[in-house]
Amino acid sequence: MAVVSVIVGGTQGLGKDIARRLAARGEQVYLSGRDQSRADAVAAEIGHGAKGLAIDLSRPHDIAGALKAVPAVTNVVIAAIERDSNSARDYGIDRAIKLATLKLVGYTEVVHALADRLTPNASVVLFGGLAKERPYPGSTTITTVNGAVSSMIRTLAVELAPVRFNAIHPGIIGDTPEWAGKAEALERTIARTPLKRLATMEDVAGATLFLLDNQAVNGVNLNIDGGWVLT
């Protein structure tokens, strides 16, 4: 029977790229976005029998029901994000609540909802981001939630052992939709990056597959940024 994988936030960007790779290696992929028809369309584009799910992580009470159709699962990747610009001087409480709910309560509720269906060799990869260490104007909520993802994997790895929990913290991934048309900002980051290029979706997907597959890596926060955080 095929290994089952769930990719939450799999309709575009990093989640979609990872979903495509897991499907191509023969896994039964369930990928989600907020909208069922969009998720179905992306699943059909990926092929290999991938299925779409509608999950809105900012509505955590609905998550368990949305995951009901998923059978016993081995690989879980949670990459969903709805970005928010927020600062202490110009604080939007509703926006902050939405993002904090999505990344903190929503990510945890996905794990809670699937907990009884995780196989003993299951692996979960959560997406934080390098804003946890490198704040920028307007990143207050993003910096806070991405920092919290670092801690979340540690408690989940202990509570749900032997299931493994790790996190990816991307720097600026230049070929994601998020950075399309922002060449100037990308050039500034390249100039500061020891690698002299940006990390790519392929780099992030490779790191994610490593965390999913390696049976001894657990509780690890992995920056994928070409060393940007060092400068």
Ligand X SMILES: NC(=O)c1ccc[n+]([C@@H]2O[C@H](COP(=O)([O-])OP(=O)(O)OC[C@H]3O[C@@H](n4cnc5c(N)ncnc54)[C@H](OP(=O)(O)O)[C@@H]3O)[C@@H](O)[C@H]2O)c1
Q: Provide the binding-site residues for ligand X, judged by CB under 6 A.
A: 9-15, 33-35, 38, 55-58, 79-82, 102, 127, 129-130, 170, 172-173, 176-179
- Minimal distance in Å, beta carbon 64 to ligand X? 14
Q: Tell me whether residue 162 or residue 177 sits nearer to ligand X (CB atom).
A: 177
Note the helical H segments in 115-200: 140-159, 183-192
The answer for residues whose C-beta is within 8 angstroms of residue 28's C-beta and 6 or more apart is: 2, 3, 4, 5, 49, 50, 51
- Minimal distance in Å, beta carbon 162 to ligand X? 25
Q: Tell me whether residue 121 or residue 202 sits nearer to ligand X (CB atom).
A: 202
- Between strands 4-8 and 118-127, the pairing is unpaired
C-alpha torsion 212→214→217→222, nearest 10: -60
3-state secondary structure of 185: helix
Q: Tell me whether residue 50 or residue 55 sits nearer to ligand X (CB atom).
A: 55
CA atoms within 13 A on the CB side of 23: 23
Q: Tell me whether residue 83 or residue 119 sits nearer to ligand X (CB atom).
A: 83
- Minimal distance in Å, beta carbon 79 to ligand X? 4
- Minimal distance in Å, beta carbon 137 to ligand X? 16
- Spatial separation of the C-alpha atoms in residues 70 and 182, rounded to whole Å: 38
Q: Tell me whether residue 13 or residue 226 sits nearer to ligand X (CB atom).
A: 13
- Minimal distance in Å, beta carbon 218 to ligand X? 20
Answer yes or no: are the C-beta atoms of 225 and 130 closer than 8 Å: yes
